[in-house]
Amino acid sequence: MSAKPGGLAMLQTRRGFTLIEMIVVMLMLAVVASVALPRAVKSSPELQVDLAARALARDLEQLRMRAIAAKRNMRVVFDESENFYTAFMDLTPERSGSFSHTDEEVRESGLLTRGSSEGVPGVRLRKNVEYGSGSASVGPQAFAADGPVNLENDRVEFDARGMVIPAGSSGVIYLVHSDEPAAVAAVTISGASAFHTWRYRGGRWIK
């Protein structure tokens, strides 16, 4: 017994409506996801400190390579109260390794400056990120967590070969979210001038 033409037409129409409805629902979900996902990512304190730590490690490595290329000493200083850092290159004719902390020394360092502190160009940490170890009681690789910048003279220096000064010295810099003390990241500097970023999760440090 053959189906009635009218029934077949209704079935085809219903299938057409079902496909259209599915497309509409998918489009609505895509719109909701495009709005909600960036907000969720942006609001993650852990991600914000992780990104800030990676940016700092990247800048340190670029400054080290710049010191090698220019065959001059480089100094990176951290202003904890301003959540700021900048770099200076030794510009003395005799390459004595001394610094005057001038704008020219910053420009020659090659640091991509994104702000200033007391007129000196440099880099401000991301919004809601500051220097600090938050709720971490100990740092990665058993470093102390009793201060935000645990370095020789609270700074990083490279010689003309890109090695840390004093030779073999190591340290760590901590970053924390201003509203979430458990959201902590760190950048370690080894005696061999290698940089690593770390995340603090569940009371443990993870690379």
Nearest to 121 by CA among 154, 150, 167, 86: 86
Q: Cα separation of 33 and 182, whole Å?
A: 28
Q: What was the pLDDT predicted at 14?
A: 56
Q: Provide the pLDDT for residue 149.
A: 96
Is there a contact between 170 and 190 (Cβ–Cβ < 8 Å)? Answer: yes
The DSSP code sequence of 104-152 is HHHHHHT---B-EETTEE-EEPPTTEEE--TT-SB-GGG-B-SSSEESG
Q: Give CA–CA dist 108/104, Å, rounded.
A: 6
pLDDT in tens, 127-152: 999 999 999 999 999 999 999 999 99
Tens-digit pLDDT profile for the chain (207 aa)?
Answer: 555 555 555 555 555 557 777 777 788 887 776 665 555 545 699 999 999 999 999 999 999 999 999 999 999 999 999 999 999 999 999 999 999 999 999 999 999 888 888 889 999 999 999 999 999 999 999 999 999 999 999 999 999 999 999 999 999 999 999 999 999 999 999 999 999 999 999 999 999
Q: Rounded to an integer, what distance in angstroms lies between the CA atom of residue 185 and that of residue 202?
A: 12
CA distances from 56 to 40, 62, 70, 94, 125 (A): 24, 10, 21, 30, 9
Q: Which pLDDT score is estimated for 10? A: 55
Give dist(CA 186, CA 205) in Å, integer.
9
Q: Is 116 left (phi over 0), alpha (psi -120 to 50) or beta?
A: beta
- Residue at 86: amino acid letter: T
**Domain spanning 47-206 has what CATH number?**
3.55.40.10
The ranges assigned to domains in the chain are 1-43, 47-206
DSSP secondary structure of 62-111: HHHHHHHHHTS-EEEEEETTTTEEEEEE---TT--S-----HHHHHHHT-
What pLDDT score does 29 carry? 83
Q: What is the pLDDT of residue 20?
A: 74
Distance of CA 135 to the CA centre of its chain: 19
Determine how many CB atoms are found less than 10 A away from the CB of residue 100: 10
